[in-house]
């Protein structure tokens, strides 16, 4: 049945989407999804970092059902709606800095990134945006120009939005260090080198007086699950302060507990001027947001923001329930315990499974875990993902590198983590044969 339905999907759904499996699913619960044949799969993707509380968490389901029966659409350009006001109350104390207390809600991550860029340009009266190599900020007309993880996202769609300049993310430096000798890895040096690259961009390409904002993923997602050195992120803040440039953190994938803290910027102790949120915010319902200071946000005049579904009431109710689950179930605590379980086993087991010519870099924060196979033949990470699928386990790869990424729900249990590790180890072993 699945093959026939997949065939129908292929015929009638745009090919441009692209898909990593041909599974047709119709049910999901916690860490599992079921195909139309009733086959159960361990899902280590959470729909790309969205269902952080597990699929169909009962608290979220109940909140959505209740909200749907009460008020499904309270259009923001007409009303204040209660679930959004409740959500702001819930989010405010979780923000990485108390000055971040003014919100704008949208539907998707890309729309929120665009809203952040609009705000930065309008508030500073400057045009240029600096982004980083390997970044993913979306696929809409505006965000296409900001995304640099693969050419497919922009190729043939130009001219793209002007005023975007690309700087190196501290990936290459870390990669070079790791490849030469992982025991001599020097994070501080990597951060300094990447800051030097930024300095060059500001001197050679985009003068600070023309630069509205620096937009960065505090842990790079799609581009390879790269954790930047701390001095790089603190250095960005200093550069922005010095030149009156806004610092925008895109926490669409790294936010909402994914890295073991509510937001990844907390690992670096740096204040964003604007922060972008989506994905995990509402456990699977379309909701995104930007947050900034009242002063900055209110530089935009009434009417310049908004949209028909902006901050939809049901999605806001799902987000309120998500925050409740975080509290009730100590989600961050579980995330950190399971992270330790994943990293210790992966680091202990994977190197021995690989031939001498393939090195492995296992990196990430919390349950945002990347496994890069350095010098592996092209397609190796996909081969591992295919082996995993044969073992009824769904994992994703990233970007152009041979990198596997694991994004399980943050409430994955100890036993499910053991099972996931067993499947991943077996898949790597099979692909390496």
Binding site for ligand PMP (CB under 6 A): 48, 108-110, 113, 136-138, 217, 221-222, 250, 252-253, 278
Neighbours of 205 (CB within 10 A): 14
Contacts of 100 (CB under 8 A, 6+ apart): 271, 272, 275, 291, 292, 293
User: Of the two residues 143 and 174, which places its CB atom closer to ligand PMP in the complex?
Assistant: 143
Q: Minimum Å distance from CB 36 to ligand PMP?
A: 25
In sequence order, what are the beta bridge partners of 364? 369
Residue 155 CA: distances (Å) to CA of 84, 145, 364, 399: 38, 10, 29, 15
Q: Minimum Å distance from CB 229 to ligand PMP?
A: 19
How many whole angstroms from its chain centre is CA 305? 24
DSSP type of residue 40: E
Q: Closest-CB residue for ligand PMP?
A: 109
Long-range contacts of 155-164 (CB under 8 A, 24+ apart): 162/127, 163/127, 163/128, 163/129, 164/128, 164/129, 164/130, 164/131
How many whole angstroms from its chain centre is CA 152? 19
Q: Minimum Å distance from CB 217 to ligand PMP?
A: 5
DSSP type of residue 392: T
DSSP type of residue 101: -
The sign of the torsion formed by the CA atoms of 218, 223, 226, 229 equals negative
User: Of the two residues 34 and 309, which places its CB atom closer to ligand PMP in the complex?
Assistant: 309
DSSP type of residue 333: H
d(CA 43, CA 221): 18
């Amino acid at each position: 049945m699945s093959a026939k339905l997949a065939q129908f999907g292929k015929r009638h759904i745009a090919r441009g989407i692209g898909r990593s499996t041909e599974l047709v699913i119709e049910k999901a619960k916690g860490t599992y999804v079921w195909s139309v044949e009733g086959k159960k799969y361990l899902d280590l993707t959470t729909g790309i970092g969205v269902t952080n509380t597990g699929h169909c968490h009962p608290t979220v389901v109940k909140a959505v059902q209740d909200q749907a029966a009460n008020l499904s659409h309270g259009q923001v350009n007409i009303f204040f709606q209660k679930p959004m006001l409740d959500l702001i109350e819930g989010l405010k104390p979780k923000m990485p800095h108390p000055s971040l207390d003014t919100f704008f809600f949208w539907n998707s991550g890309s729309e929120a990134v665009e809203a952040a860029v609009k705000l930065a340009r309008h508030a500073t009266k400057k045009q240029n945006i600096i982004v980083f190599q390997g970044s993913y900020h979306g696929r809409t007309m505006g965000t296409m120009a900001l995304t640099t993880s693969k050419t497919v996202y922009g190729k043939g769609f130009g001219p793209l939005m002007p005023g975007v300049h690309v700087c190196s993310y501290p990936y290459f430096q870390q990669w070079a260090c790791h490849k030469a000798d992982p025991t001599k890895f020097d994070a501080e040096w990597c951060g300094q080198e990447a800051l030097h690259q930024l300095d060059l961009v500001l001197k050679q390409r985009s003068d600070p007086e023309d630069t509205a904002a620096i937009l960065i993923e505090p842990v790079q997602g799609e581009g390879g699950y790269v954790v930047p050195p701390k001095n790089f992120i603190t250095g960005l803040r200093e550069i922005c302060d010095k030149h009156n440039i806004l610092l925008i953190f895109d926490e669409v994938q790294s936010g909402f507990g994914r890295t073991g803290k509510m937001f990844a910027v907390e690992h670096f102790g740096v204040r964003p001027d604007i922060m972008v949120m989506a994905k995990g915010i509402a456990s699977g319902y379309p909701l995104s947001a930007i947050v900034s200071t009242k002063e900055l946000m209110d530089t935009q005049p009434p009417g310049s923001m908004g949209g028909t579904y902006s901050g939809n009431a049901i999605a806001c109710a799902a987000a309120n329930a998500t925050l409740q689950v975080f509290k009730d179930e100590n989600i961050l605590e579980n995330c950190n315990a399971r992270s330790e379980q994943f990293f210790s086993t992966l680091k202990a087991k994977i190197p021995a499974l690989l031939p001498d010519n393939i090195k492995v870099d296992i990196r990430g924060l919390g349950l945002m875990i990347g496994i890069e196979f350095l010098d592996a033949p092209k397609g190796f990470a996909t081969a591992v993902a295919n082996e995993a699928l044969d073992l009824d386990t769904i994992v994703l790869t990233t970007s152009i590198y041979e990198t596997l990424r694991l994004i399980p729900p943050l409430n994955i249990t100890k036993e499910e983590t053991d099972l996931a590790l067993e499947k991943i180890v077996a898949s790597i072993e099979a692909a390496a044969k």
